[in-house]
Structure 1
Amino acid sequence: MQGTVDGFAFGAVTPAASYLVACVGSALGLRCVVRSLSNRQSWKPGWLALGAATIGCGIWTMHFVAMVGFRIQGIPIDYDSRLTSLGLVVAIVMVGIGVFAVGYRGATPVTLTAAGILTGLAVVATHYTGMAALQLNGSLEYDSLTVAASVLIAVAAATAALWTAASYRGFPAALGASLLMGVALTGTHYTGMAALSVHLRGATDASYMTGMYGNASPASILLPMLIGPVVFLILAGVVVMFDPQLVLGDGDWSRANPRRRRGTAVVPQRPAHTPQTASLFEPRDQGVGRHTSPRGR
């Protein structure tokens, strides 16, 4: 018997919320990646790792926010915690491989395309791993052509987002890149859900459902799992917002010091003490703040 699948149990609330989460996570992660490219003095591994983890958390969180509105008429659903956690690990690792390649090999066409493909595949892997984590009294079946369409959407949109973020500077490019990544994530999810059909097995009476799954709703199962990644996204947002170069959107501080754009030589004054950097991943200048003895003058 075929089950009736409903991916919009709360109407437009879950698609809108999942798209917002996808855009926010992508925007934060892409800014971290661009930060590592635009400033050679920054601690590259730290920014790339933060970017990969943020984008991965955004991918995973987006999927399960959307799944809050997922229902199969007549049966309850549960989630395998190990496969659910595996989806998060897969997303971070696959995105990390791509962004580290861009960070260390440069934003060349080859590396940007490879990173876009890996990021798109991370979106696909997270989605279908999350779907494999479903526990229900039935089996999941997919239409192969629609699945292929979801893969193409993920790869194309993720690649376009990375190209936009790495090739252009300023707020419009950052906004456009995050919106494209939001399309990659939500487009993959809902196209993949359109490919889904559920074949129900055996009994579906109320006593069977209560005995196996209890009375828990998908929201009560998923929302506690979302707390950790959402908190991480908030902390990543704090790091990004309090980093001056990310706020200005220009790694060489050209907006902060317009004289550099005119070619005027600027001789920085040496402070009397070591300045406290505003970035968690900024290396400190060990030579600053050392006093010269009057006898050596």
Structure 2
Amino acid sequence: MIPQATGASRRNWLVTAASAIGTGIWTMHFVAMLGFGVNGTEIRYDVPLTVLSLVVAMTVVCAGVFAVGYDRDRGRALPLGGLTTGIGVASMHYLGMAAVRLHGRVTYDPALVALSVVIAAVAATAALRAALNVTSPLAVTVASLVMGAAVSSMHYTGMLAVRVRVTPAGDVLPGATATQFLFPRAVGLGSYLFLTSAFVTLPPTAGERAASAAAQRPGERAAAR
């Protein structure tokens, strides 16, 4: 739908695509973190930082989608948008990791961190290309599977870079457990995606219809010649 959409309809589809990609990436990260555990310490998550990581994912993906969706020079916009979005996805991941609270110290292998950023940039570029150019249902399905595998690879490469040195302690860790996030996360994201989907169906205003028609006239005149 996005490649053929114009005017307000294109804007609405871009908002929905950005919301779906951003929340999907963050959800994959957080669900994967349900399996993260360290012997000798419990795990808690700083709530404001965890929410901020979701905001970063959605904001940066939205910026990348709109940059590619409205730039006529796709050869320039797609790599730039993919790189920007990839860095944003990586930032979301490591901001989410910064929200982890445990009894000990977390460090990272720099080479694996760099590799995870590269994978994130490639995955983001593929996602933007699929969202804005692919129209065949089969191609969309294949692109979605490739994107899912790439995002998962980025996450687990980033987790492979994690090194934890446990310092046993008896004090209670601040923050929430991963399972405490599940219900509010599901309700909140479900409601948000429902609203953005409804946003797509909003009819354009008279001004937006006129602007869309005016934008299409030069192409129609060129075709008539």
Do the structures match in fold with TM over 0.5?
A: yes
Which whole-Å CA distance do the structure 2 matches of 1:229 and 1:184 have between them? 26
Which whole-Å CA distance do the structure 2 matches of 1:174 and 1:58 have between them? 16
Alignment CA distance shift 1:234-1:89 (3 Å): closer
| 1:124 aligned partner, one-letter code | A
Which whole-Å CA distance do the structure 1 matches of 2:73 and 2:57 have between them? 21
Query: Which residue does the alignment assign to 2:13?
Result: 47
Alignment CA distance shift 1:165-1:176 (3 Å): farther
| 1:220 aligned partner, one-letter code | T
Structure 1 residue 141 and structure 2 residue 101: aligned? no
Native 8 Å contact 1:158 1:180 kept in 2: no
Query: Which residue does the alignment assign to 1:192?
Result: 158
Native 8 Å contact 1:50 1:236 kept in 2: no
1:131 match: secondary structure: helix
Following TM superposition, the consecutive aligned residue runs of length 4 or more in structure 1 with deviations greater than 6 angstroms are: none
| Unmatched tracts of structure 2, length 5 or more | 210-225
Alignment CA distance shift 1:217-1:133 (3 Å): closer
What's the TM-score, normalizing by structure 2? Answer: 0.80
Pairing of 1:26-45 with structure 2 (within 5 A): 35-45=1-11
Cα deviation for residue 184 of structure 1 reads 2.8
Cα deviation for residue 228 of structure 1 reads 3.7
% same residue = 39
1:199 match: secondary structure: strand
Cα deviation for residue 233 of structure 1 reads 6.7
Alignment CA distance shift 1:225-1:149 (3 Å): farther
Q: Any idea what the Cα deviations from partners look like across 1:99-126, whole Å, max 9, x if unmatched?
A: 1112221361111111211221222111
Cα deviation for residue 224 of structure 1 reads 3.3
Alignment CA distance shift 1:51-1:160 (3 Å): closer
Q: Any idea what the Cα deviations from partners look like across 1:139-168, whole Å, max 9, x if unmatched?
A: 111111111111111111221232244333
Pairing of 1:116-155 with structure 2 (within 5 A): 116-155=82-121
2:163 match: secondary structure: strand
Which whole-Å CA distance do the structure 1 matches of 2:147 and 2:141 have between them? 10
CA RMSD of aligned residues (A): 2.7
- Larger relative contact order (Cα-Cα within 8 Å, sequence gap ≥ 6): 2
Pairing of 1:1-297 with structure 2 (within 5 A): 35-106=1-72, 108-201=74-167, 203-204=168-169, 208=170, 211-213=171-173, 218-232=177-191, 235=194, 239=198, 280-283=201-204
Alignment CA distance shift 1:213-1:197 (3 Å): same
Native 8 Å contact 1:54 1:236 kept in 2: no
Whose helix fraction is larger, Structure 1's or Structure 2's?
Answer: 2
| Unmatched tracts of structure 1, length 5 or more | 1-34, 241-278, 288-297
Which whole-Å CA distance do the structure 1 matches of 2:132 and 2:197 have between them? 22
Q: Any idea what the Cα deviations from partners look like across 1:224-257, whole Å, max 9, x if unmatched?
A: 34224541476269659xxxxxxxxxxxxxxxxx
